[in-house]
Amino acid sequence: MKHLLLVVTIAILLLNYSPATAQVTITQQPSSVTTSLGATVSFTVGATSTNTMSFQWQKGGANISGASNSSLSITNVHFPDCGNYSVVVSNGSTNAVSTNASLNITLYEPYWVTTLAGKSSSIGGYKDGTNSAALFSDPDSIAVDPAGNLFVVEFTLGTLRKVTPAGTDWVVTTIAGRGTNGVTFNSPNGVAVDNAGNVFVLDFNSAGRITELSPNGANWTVTTLATNVNGGSGLGGLAIDSADTLYFPGQGRRTIRKLEFSGSDWVASDIAGMPGVIGSSDGTNTDARFNLCDRIAVDAHGTIYVGDYGNQTIRVIRKDDTNYVVTTLAGVAGSSGWCDGPGATARFSSPEAIAVDGVGNVYVGDAHLRKITPDGFVTTLAGNRNGVSDGLGSSAGYGAIYGAAVDANGYVYFTDSGNNTIRRAQPVTIAFNTPTVVATNSSMAFQFGVTMLSNLSYRVQFSTNLITWASLTNFTATNPPFVFTDVGYSNNPARFYRVVTP
């Protein structure tokens, strides 16, 4: 009987035994790719398992038909390909999902970036002075007046600084805060200037106070316009229209607000969004939804532009009679990245700084300096985060762009809060002077002058069909205009010429 019980016990143990489930281990995650239009890109995953594995690639969480290998290749990359890619690896028993790898498509419209004032440092300081002799600490919003003077608020120091052009120099002075002109700010993070040169400051932590500073000779007359404009929430950014109505995001309130003079008082009110409700939907007045908005701009027609960095989108607010209609200009709610192109295919990474020029181009600071045309087409102008260098396009680096402003020439000024400096990005323009045919010792020559931005390298190229181009010479513009002479003009077929940046 004892032996029989033993046999039965062993049989029961054998019946209850099951082998361990085979696992899938991802050993190599797919890597993000930044490329240009028309390129071919690949994503690859590495994985191990004791069982046979299968692969299913996804874009934005949706399966890609036929994408069932360990590598995914995309040819002739175009704007709709932009987005996040991942892969599900299965062995029939268990699945493993890779991390997201982003496909970023960039279209550079290179701007030349220079440092105007401040000394690059992650620590910062406080000192008035000229160019790099001046010191800033956490420069936040920035505004430019019609004369080209810049106004900068420093969130941590509680100051309003003026940066004045003087020839090729930039002179920094403190005009308010830290007791200057009898003003004490707490944490100012919004500044705007009207056409008359009056400066308006939004103080984040002083009960939502808006202060006006009017030039009075060498001094400034200070007036408190309103307090408690925050509506019970944090605030960020400030803009002013031609009628002197001020606009600002009710950051934690999830609304866009305005301050306007009515009767004998300044009155603050919401114009779009539902107080306390987070969302991303477009709509009119309280039907619209916002997430987190920190900067704002207004164009000459009264159209309002907002960087909704909580949604990764750029929003537009247009007034229609007494209503405010909200639409999305570029980006997709909840989808971050670095993709240029048409509005709905473009991607942003926490867009914050925002400015608009006289023809409706919008400038945005996120992980790069971006430009959006009035019809919503996005390009990259400059910059790579985690750098300090001046330069052209992608060679320029910066720490973090918190504020932006644009002048009548299309020059973009921005606060580099990561490096505690004030920077400028300007378009590289090339203009041809009237070409002439001149005589040389042995033949006729074709000669033309070129006017361009100094201290940049350029390349002269020619083509006989406007399709293929060959280089003739490289030069650095030290004293424009540069005069180029094609000595072999008379012995060659008709030529077209162009000058490009290398």
Q: Give me the long-range contacts of 461-468 (CB less than 8 A, separation at least 24).
A: 461/497, 461/498, 461/499, 461/500, 462/486, 462/495, 462/496, 462/497, 462/498, 463/495, 463/496, 463/498, 464/493, 464/494, 464/495, 464/496, 466/496
What backbone torsions phi and psi does residue 491 show, to the nearest 5 degrees? -100, 5
In a 13 Å sphere around the CA of 494, the CA atoms on its Cβ side amount to 2
- Decide if 71 contacts 389 (C-beta within 8 A): no
The pLDDT of residue 69 is 96
Q: How many helices (H) does the chain have, and how many strands (E)?
A: 1, 46
Q: How many CB atoms lie within 10 A of CB 256?
A: 24
The pLDDT of residue 14 is 43
165's CB contacts (< 8 A; 6+ apart) are 148, 149
The pLDDT of residue 172 is 98
Q: 3-state SS of 477-494?
A: CCCCCEEEEECCHHHCCC
Got the DSSP string for 263-284? TTEEEEEEEES-TT-B----EE
CB-based burial label for 332 (10 Å; 0-12, 13-18, 19+): buried
Q: Give me the long-range contacts of 41-44 (CB less than 8 A, separation at least 24).
A: 41/73, 41/74, 41/77, 41/103, 42/71, 42/72, 42/73, 42/74, 43/71, 43/72, 43/85, 43/87, 43/101, 44/70, 44/71, 44/72
Low-confidence ranges of the chain (pLDDT < 50): 1-15, 17
Q: How many CB atoms lie within 10 A of CB 396?
A: 25
- Decide if 136 contacts 124 (C-beta within 8 A): yes
- Decide if 281 contacts 289 (C-beta within 8 A): yes
Instruction: List, in sequence order, every beta strand (DSSP E) within 331-435.
Output: 353-356, 362-365, 369-372, 378-382, 384-385, 391-392, 397-398, 401-406, 412-416, 421-427, 431-432
